[in-house]
Amino acid sequence: MGIINMTPDSFSLDGCMMRSKKHAHDYAYRYALKQIREGADILDIGGESTRPGAARVTAEEEKQRIVPLIKRLAAKEDVPISADTNKVDVAKAALDAGASIINTIKGTNPSRSLLRMIARYGAAIVLMHIAGGTPRTMQKRYRYEKNLLGEIISSLKDSVEKCLENGIKSDRIILDPGICFGKSAEHNLRIINQLQRLKILRYPVLIGTSRKSFIGCVLKRPEADKRVFGTAATVAASILNGAHIVRVHDVGDIHDVVLMTDAIMTEKVSQL
């Protein structure tokens, strides 16, 4: 899953609006095509930064950022498009424009209105675990008892049940343990190390480690765009421990990591 941030304030320093708001959509479209060429199977397009302390964005502004790009890509490309949003109005506009997946950071307690709308469209949903409320507060208020993975699994199980109750089909549900969303660096390492425990839920697992701060903590690299090798290690470990989808910024580099890790797991060399 390739990440396309239609924002001016992305933590990863790759926001398409950081250069020029006027030409952001053209730049983002070319960037999306590049990611497809490099091996992206899904494109995840977001219009609001979810880094700690990020400014809020109105639904109208978020729609203006992502809907034109989704519409343009959906009309010309076959790659499934995911909209990274937690707002019902934005999600509906994205689905109307051609998206087929809603990736919500509020997967711990999704709203019924969002779930019912996704069900009406027959779309897929990524349920991401978050602790500590919102991106503004998540790194200040999180608290776990004794069993980090157990609590994440329990929370995601409840969210899955809400999806099913509101009409979303079981084959449209993807789970994300929420790396860096209300977790310490040690928590994130533990999630990756014990990711296989999520198999008990019997749903595909998405992992999003790309360029994140815990990699910077381990490697002593404060610059987010200098964390590609650290990201590669987390991606390989996540796949070996059961991840089905990896959400990344550096698609070309990480595509090689994915292919190599799959080859090790299957003990097979794919015929080109």
- The tens digit of pLDDT for each residue in 124-171 reads 999 999 986 666 555 555 667 678 999 999 999 999 999 999 999 999
Determine the Cα–Cα distance for residues 121 and 22; give it in Å rounded to an integer. Answer: 32
Task: Kindly report, residue by residue over 83-96, the tens digit of the pLDDT.
Answer: 999 999 999 999 99
247 counts as catalytic? yes
Residue 168: give the domain boundaries. 2-266
Residue 138, in any domain of the structure: yes
Considering the candidates 87, 183, 212, 227, report the single residue annotated as catalytic: 212
Domains contained in the chain, number: 1
CATH code, domain with 150: 3.20.20.20
Residue 271, in any domain of the structure: no
Output the pTM of the full model.
Answer: 0.92
The CA distances from residue 116 to 97, 101, 110, 165, 168, in Å, are 18, 14, 10, 9, 8
pLDDT top residue among 139 and 244: 244
Determine the Cα–Cα distance for residues 99 and 4; give it in Å rounded to an integer. Answer: 14
Residue 185, in any domain of the structure: yes
Residue 29, in any domain of the structure: yes
pLDDT top residue among 257 and 12: 257
Reported as a pLDDT band with limits 50, 70 and 90, residue 29 is: very high
Determine the Cα–Cα distance for residues 137 and 108; give it in Å rounded to an integer. Answer: 15
Residue 272, in any domain of the structure: no
Instruction: Specify the residue for token string 């999600």.
Output: 91
pLDDT top residue among 135 and 186: 186
Residue 235, in any domain of the structure: yes
212 counts as catalytic? yes
Q: Is the pLDDT of residue 271 over 70?
A: no
Amino acid at residue number 52:
P
Considering the candidates 63, 183, 197, 247, report the single residue annotated as catalytic: 247
